[in-house]
Amino acid sequence: MLRSLPALLFAAVLLAPAARAGHAIALGYEPKYPAGFSHFDYVNPDAPKGGALLLPNPDRRTSFDSFNPFLLKGTSAAGLGNLMFESLLIGSDDEPASSYGLLAEDVSVDQDGLAVTFRLYPKARFNDGSPVTAADVKYSFDILNSKLVSPQYPALLADVKEARVIDKHTVRYQFRRRNPELPIIIGGLAVFSKRWGAGKSFDKIALERPITSGPYLIEQYQNGRQLTYRRNPDYWGKDLPTRRGMFNFDRITYRYYKDEVARLEAFKAGEFDFIVEYSAKNWVRQYIGKQFDAGELVKTTFKHRNTAGMQGFILNTRRPQFADLRVRQALALALDFEWMNRQFFYNQYIRLDSYWSNSELAAHGLPGEDELKLLAPLRKRLDPKVFGPAPIPATTTAPSSLRDNLRQARELLAEAGWTYRDGALRNAEGQAFEFEFLDDSGPMLRVFLAYARNLEKLGIHARPRQVDYALYQRRMDSFDFDMTTMRFADSQSPGNELYDYYGSKAARTPGSANFTGVKDRAVDALIDNVIVSETRAQRVTAVRALDRVLRQGAYVIPQWFSAEHRVAYRKRLSPPATLPLYYSPEPWMVSTWWIRP
């Protein structure tokens, strides 16, 4: 998410108390695009409109039963957030922390940082033709800050005291405390009409078509297996600088496939136009053949500057066998990344060494003086090793070896009270060390089984359990798992979402994203430091300090990342000439590509 200097920068100007307004917010630097800019640099403003785009389900969901993406229950349809729901502000994909006006034509923040005011474009319209009003904006905020939605939304908005309608086109938010990120968090919230659902309780709205302001409408859908969006010919925002050259397809259809094998074969058979490949093995061995040789199918990679985030084997520390730090450290020593990279991944990956790898946010070496100023007041609550070099994952590259790592792991387990006897690793009560690996997709299974073989050498029995996506999601929402594999969303400017990922309150809240169960007052304090930081430099320092503590806690066994997106598409599609810096491949393609004339 995003932040700024001693007060937020709007159009590169510090604001007096709600006296001057601007077109943009940047956290700690001047926005790249000035007032009156015509379009983002990474789009083609003259891209032709027209044609139909066919896509597969972009994730592991194999069906959908809801057009409401804000609830815990149900499985929402693909594409809703990008194609139908709009917000007051929209981010730029070539800046780490900037947002520009979308529904709001300007935004102003009080000099004390305790309030933000948005003024809407008078021409903004919902897809039923009704105007977008400040009352709709407040209604949307009130819903997303209620118990009717996933708890992740209220967690982000905990510092908002109230939202108040000033007039038909103006809404003002008051904060409980200074939090430089809040104006952008609020600016990024989805806005929808009060009429959506026709008076139903919001948590009962499912397949009622959303009344929103975005560029597309739901045209038709079939049994949770296929969904077609149609570009709204009356879309109000098509000429905005934040929309010019974007959303060029007349129709976008999502087709749902039961598994990744079926999806890949369907792509080769011509059933859809674009696919992102996350399997290194598939990329090397399956994306070949006459269609690729003839150029009918294009296989390529697109570089990015995204923070890699954290992906790994997630340990649920609510489980007693994972409560001891030494146990978690021992489990990490059993992962042989170098072997996996050779045998499974064709040496295409880099080992993750941070919660923010591939960015300036990652901590390296000893903490600097700026980090120590944040860590020192928490010394009594922190492992002394936090003040040493930042932890890095174990390696099996010579002179290290898996044998040496497992020997260290055995020593740590013994210190934690786990010793090998009677054919298994057991604690003082004689209980065997065993756990379940929960998964909802096949490709990770072979990776886990290779890891499990190493654990067996320690006397640990790890068994896989594969379930469908719906059951997987229910179990994750209730923290009913031992270990799984997961990727935390990356951010170029982390902020309030950190409370949901790693905050103590979230650890006790079903449906939160604190799957590991981090419950540490020192971590809470370090997140506070991130939240209140004003400049980019302060934010980087605060995130690095938090990174050290999370890594020392060994809550996740880090996996790997790539600095490229692997993409294949039919040659009829055309991408813009200029790549953005920070982007996900499918939303970028949907919003900025076009069909060749």
- Residue 448 and residue 460: Cα distance in Å, rounded? 13
Domain shared by 352 and 485, yes or no = yes
Looking at residues 230-248, what average pLDDT do you find? 98
Q: Which pLDDT band holds residue 17 (cuts at 50, 70, 90)?
A: very low
State pLDDT tens for residues 369-423: 999 999 999 999 999 999 999 999 999 999 999 999 999 999 999 999 999 999 9
Residue 173 lies inside a defined structural domain of this protein: yes
Q: Nearest CA to 521 among 535, 507, 537, 532?
A: 507
The percent helix, strand, coil of the chain (3-state, each to 5) is: 30, 20, 50
Contact 495, 99 (CB under 8 A): no
| Alpha helices (H) along 478-584 | 497-502, 504-507, 521-532, 536-553
CATH code, 129: 3.40.190.10
Q: What is the pLDDT at residue 21?
A: 52
Percent of the chain with pLDDT over 70: 96
Residue 246 lies inside a defined structural domain of this protein: no
State pLDDT tens for residues 454-478: 999 999 999 999 999 889 999 999 9
User: Which pair of tokens denotes residue 129?
Assistant: 């033709």
Residue range(s) defining the domain that contains residue 467: 311-561
Domain shared by 90 and 236, yes or no = yes
Is pLDDT above 80 for 9? no
Is pLDDT above 50 for 5? no
User: Residue 41 is inside which H or E element, if any?
Assistant: none
Percent of the chain with pLDDT over 90: 85
Q: Which pLDDT band holds residue 573 (cuts at 50, 70, 90)?
A: very high
Is pLDDT above 70 for 513? yes
Q: Which pLDDT band holds residue 13 (cuts at 50, 70, 90)?
A: very low
Domain shared by 209 and 349, yes or no = no
Q: What is the pLDDT at residue 239?
A: 96
Q: What is the pLDDT at residue 396?
A: 97
- Residue 33 and residue 393: Cα distance in Å, rounded? 40
Is pLDDT above 90 for 8? no
- Residue 436 and residue 413: Cα distance in Å, rounded? 19
Domain shared by 230 and 349, yes or no = no
Residue 260 lies inside a defined structural domain of this protein: no
Is pLDDT above 50 for 320? yes
Contact 486, 311 (CB under 8 A): yes
- Residue 304 and residue 296: Cα distance in Å, rounded? 25
Looking at residues 170-180, what average pLDDT do you find? 94
State pLDDT tens for residues 330-364: 999 999 999 999 999 999 999 999 999 989 999 99
Domain shared by 228 and 98, yes or no = yes
Residue 24 lies inside a defined structural domain of this protein: yes
Most distant pair of Cα atoms in the chain: their distance:
75
Highest mean pLDDT among 2-6, 62-66, 141-145: 141-145
Residue 175 lies inside a defined structural domain of this protein: yes
Domain shared by 234 and 318, yes or no = no
Q: What is the pLDDT at residue 19?
A: 34
User: Which pair of tokens denotes residue 234?
Assistant: 């009356």
CATH code, 342: 3.10.105.10
Domain shared by 183 and 48, yes or no = yes
Domain shared by 315 and 462, yes or no = yes
Is pLDDT above 90 for 568? yes
Domain shared by 100 and 188, yes or no = yes
Contact 26, 9 (CB under 8 A): yes
Is pLDDT above 90 for 35? yes
User: Which pair of tokens denotes residue 313?
Assistant: 């084997």
Residue 1 lies inside a defined structural domain of this protein: no
Is pLDDT above 80 for 444? yes
Residue 18 lies inside a defined structural domain of this protein: yes
Q: What is the pLDDT at residue 443?
A: 78
| Alpha helices (H) along 334-387 | 337-343, 369-375
- Residue 513 and residue 110: Cα distance in Å, rounded? 32
Higher pLDDT, 1 or 154: 154
Domain shared by 107 and 215, yes or no = yes
- pTM score, two decimals? 0.82
Give the total number of structural domains in the chain. Answer: 2
Is pLDDT above 50 for 145? yes
Whole-number average pLDDT of the chain: 93
User: Residue 407 is inside which H or E element, if any?
Assistant: helix 402-415
C-alpha dihedral sign at 291, 292, 294, 295: positive
Domain shared by 362 and 224, yes or no = no
State pLDDT tens for residues 71-114: 988 999 999 999 999 999 999 999 988 999 999 999 999 999 99
Higher pLDDT, 208 or 534: 208
Helix, strand or coil, per DSSP, at residue 467: coil
